[in-house]
Amino acid sequence: MTVIDADFSEALVADEKELSVARRIWLETRKSPWFTVGLGLFVVLVLGAFLYPLLSGADPQVMHFREKLLPPAFAGGSWAYPLGTDQLGRDMLSRSLVGLQISFLLALAAVVLTFAVGAAIGLYSGFHGGLTDQLLMRVVDVQLSIPPIILAITILGVTRPTPALVVLVLTLAGWPTYARVTRAAALGEREREYVRAARVLGASDLRILGLLIAPVVLPPLAFAAVLDLARLMIFEATLDFLGLGLQPPTPTLGTIIADGRKYLMNAWWVASLPGVFLIVVLLAVNMMGVALERARNRVLGGL
Sites of contact with another protein (CB under 8 A): 1, 3-4, 7, 10-11, 14-15, 17-18, 20-21, 24, 192-194, 196-203, 207, 212, 215-216, 299-301
91 DSSP 8-state letter: B
Which one, 216 or 290, has the nearer CB to another protein? 216
Least Cβ distance, residue 8 to another protein (angstroms): 9
Least Cβ distance, residue 294 to another protein (angstroms): 15
H/E element holding 156? helix 148-157
- Identify how many contiguous H helices and E strands the chain contains and give both numbers: 12, 0
Does residue 114 contact residue 178 with C-beta atoms inside 8 Å? yes
Least Cβ distance, residue 24 to another protein (angstroms): 8
Which one, 100 or 213, has the nearer CB to another protein? 213
Least Cβ distance, residue 211 to another protein (angstroms): 8
CA distance 71 to 124: 55
Which one, 55 or 200, has the nearer CB to another protein? 200
CA distance 1 to 16: 27
Least Cβ distance, residue 291 to another protein (angstroms): 19
- Pick left, alpha or beta for residue 142 (phi over 0 → left; psi -120 to 50 → alpha; otherwise beta): alpha
Nearest to 161 by CA among 255, 88, 282, 92: 255
Which one, 21 or 146, has the nearer CB to another protein? 21
Which one, 19 or 276, has the nearer CB to another protein? 19
